[in-house]
């Protein structure tokens, strides 16, 4: 399957100049092996134009694999990466000294002169957000970053960051069964900020859930994963899900979700799915 005209309807323009389809590829399980090489090449061949990664994934291996497999990148392919979570250490570091090294490393591994979308992986509670964001702005002004995004943040944190520099995307956990960030989705929608729901398939758990999803999947002759993605796409025009997969079969199915249009009634019906996680959590 390749994306055709119909799929062009579901695009999003991030930061005013990065236009991509509203289904990207999450890569936290991509490693330096043949399976991942086939997946990455096949993904681009099938029309994936937004790849989300991080220096943290595979302790740098994922970025290295993307750079070694796909660079020089075809025109229009956006590689979004993240820094601020220390690979191999599971701690945050938002200090300018650390981020400077992290950014230089990502540029080198991804074989890029400038990163289209650099996302702060986590806010480091030990470093004032103002300090971290001011540094990222400096890197943007220096031409090493095109646009800045945030990950796992509150509305107040987004607002604080936006008072210093333009924030074009937010990547928080969100899917049909986990909606603790409803306020952030609403804020991004209202302010035209791309919202990249991570774990868009509930980290693979959506298939175990509510009978409403199963019923609608059966009615629409779709998989439960496609229904979960279609629900996200309908939730907000700024939504850009990044399902992670290692198989081209699943990747094709995920891309096909772009052509599913849920009706308002279907969306409402699905939105009443029983939530294992309370939205207030």
Q: Is 269 among the catalytic positions?
A: no
Give strand pairing partners of 175.
178
**x/- map, 223-242, ligand NAP, by CB under 6 A:** x-x----------------x
Strand order in the sheet with 167-171: 25-26, 50-52, 78-83, 115-120, 145-151, 167-171, 194-195
Give CA–CA dist 135/142, Å, rounded.
Answer: 11
DSSP string, 95-129: -HHHHHHHHHHHHHHHT-SSEEEEEESS--TTS-H
Tokens of 77: 């392919």
Total residues in contact with ligand NAP, by rule CB under 6 A: 25
Is residue 26 a contact point for ligand NAP (CB under 6 A)? yes
**Please, which residue, 106 or 225, has the CB nearer to ligand NAP?**
225
Give strand pairing partners of 119.
82, 149
To the nearest whole angstrom, how small is the minimum distance from the Cβ of residue 203 to ligand NAP? 4
**Please, which residue, 132 or 151, has the CB nearer to ligand NAP?**
151
The interface with ligand NAP within residues 51-70 (CB under 6 A) comprises 52
262 CB neighbour count, 10 Å cutoff: 18
Is residue 36 a contact point for ligand NAP (CB under 6 A)? no
Is residue 124 a contact point for ligand NAP (CB under 6 A)? no
Out of 171, 184, 210, 231, name the contact with ligand NAP by CB under 6 A.
171
Q: Directed axis angle between helix 248-256 and helix 34-45, to 10°?
A: 30
Out of 245, 255, 258, 262, name the contact with ligand NAP by CB under 6 A.
245
Out of 200, 209, 258, 273, name the contact with ligand NAP by CB under 6 A.
200
Residues lying near ligand NAP in the complex (CB under 6 A) are found at 26-28, 52, 151-152, 171, 198-204, 223, 225, 242-247, 250, 253-254
């Amino acid at each position: 399957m390749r994306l055709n005209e119909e799929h062009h309807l579901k695009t999003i323009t991030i930061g005013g100049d990065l236009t991509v389809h509203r289904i990207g590829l999450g890569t936290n399980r991509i490693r330096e092996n043949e399976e991942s090489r086939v997946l990455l090449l096949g993904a681009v061949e099938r029309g994936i134009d937004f790849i989300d990664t991080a220096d943290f994934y595979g302790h740098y291996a994922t970025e290295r694999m993307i750079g070694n497999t796909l660079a020089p990148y075809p025109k229009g392919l956006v590689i979004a990466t993240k820094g601020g979570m220390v690979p191999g250490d599971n701690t945050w570091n938002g200090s300018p000294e650390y981020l400077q090294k992290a950014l230089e490393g990502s540029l080198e591994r991804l074989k890029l002169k400038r990163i289209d979308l650099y996302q702060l992986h986590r806010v480091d509670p030990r470093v004032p957000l103002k300090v971290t964001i001011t540094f990222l702005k400096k890197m943007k002004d220096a031409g090493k970053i095109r646009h800045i995004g945030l990950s796992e943040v509150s509305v107040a944190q987004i607002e604080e960051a936006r008072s210093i520099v333009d924030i074009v995307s937010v990547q928080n956990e969100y899917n049909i069964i986990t909606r603790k960030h409803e306020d952030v989705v609403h804020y991004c929608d209202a302010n035209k900020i791309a919202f990249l729901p991570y774990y868009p398939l509930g980290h693979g758990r959506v298939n175990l859930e509510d009978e409403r999803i199963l019923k609608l999947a059966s009615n629409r002759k779709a998989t439960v994963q496609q229904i979960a993605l279609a629900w996200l796409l309908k939730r907000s025009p700024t939504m850009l899900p990044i399902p992670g997969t290692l198989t081209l079969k699943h990747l094709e199915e995920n891309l096909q979700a772009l052509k599913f249009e849920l009706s308002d009634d279907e969306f409402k019906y699905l939105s009443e799915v029983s939530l294992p996680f309370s939205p207030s959590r």
